[in-house]
Chains A and B, each alone.
Chain A
């Protein structure tokens, strides 16, 4: 599920989960 954050300057950030395959192995 994605969440949205709108800044005071009006910019929209959409936050979504990072696909596991794209994460570096720790």
Chain B
């Protein structure tokens, strides 16, 4: 995935079944952000793979004051990349069988 300066990782091991996964997001390279970033640490949240969109979560982070509006896109993309990888892994495990 492209280096966006924002790192997103699983906060707990993915069991491959739950729609809601726990993710952890933090800024690795503040220089890649356009707006002012509130240096608060890692943000942990749950993400529903079926009902939610990465951009929606990014917007909520902006509204909560973690990121500037101009960085919603880069945060959303970072979450989207990680979510795509998790979905890909799940599909691969399903097709590989037990």
Interface positions of A (Cβ within 8 A of B): 3, 5, 7-9, 11-18, 22-24
What's the dominant secondary structure at chain B's contact region?
Answer: mixed
CA distance A3 to B40 in the complex (A): 9
Q: Could you say which residues of chain A place their CB within 8 Å of the CB of B63?
A: 7-8
Q: Could you say which residues of chain B place their CB within 8 Å of the CB of A13?
A: 43-45, 60-61, 64, 66
B43 touches A15 (CB 8 A): yes
- We find that the number of chain B residues with CB closer than 8 angstroms to chain A is 17
CA distance A17 to B60 in the complex (A): 20
B40 touches A15 (CB 8 A): yes
Shortest B67–chain A CB gap in Å is 11
Instruction: With A23-B28, A24-B28, A24-B29 as known contacts, state yes or no: A18 contacts B61, CB within 8 Å.
Output: no
Which residues B48-73 have CB closer than 8 A to chain A?
A: 57, 60-61, 63-64, 66
Shortest B78–chain A CB gap in Å is 14
CA distance A5 to B66 in the complex (A): 10
B28 touches A11 (CB 8 A): no
